[in-house]
Amino acid sequence: MAGPQDASKIYGFVSPESIPKARPLYRFAATGLSASMWFWVMYKAKKDGAESSDRRRVERV
């Protein structure tokens, strides 16, 4: 097989040492945004109940 034999050159893998650490503000913001998204999803599921999850009901005109 011609070409480089190193897997990092073939598939583009990076070692964990070369990945820069995210700033604490970005990590905190990402955690807060993802938590608020899941709280909203669970709130809507509880509020809507079976209406949002009932896929068999199809209104025909």
Q: What average pLDDT does this structure show over 4-23? A: 67
Residue-by-residue DSSP string for 8-36: HHHH----GGGSPPPPHHHHHHHHHHHHH
Q: What average pLDDT does this structure show over 15-44? A: 89
Please count the CA atoms within 13 angstroms of the CA of 40 that sit on its side-chain side. 6
State residue 34 phi and psi, 5-degree precision. Answer: -70, -35
Indicate the domain borders of the chain: 21-47
Whether the full predicted model's pTM is greater than 0.85, yes or no, is: no
Q: How much is the pLDDT for 24?
A: 92
Q: Per-residue confidence at 58, pLDDT binned at 50, 70, 90?
A: low
Nearest C-alpha neighbor of 19 from the set 8, 35, 29: 8
| CB count in 10 Å sphere of residue 46 | 8
Please write the tens of the pLDDT for every residue from 36-54: 999 999 998 888 876 665 6
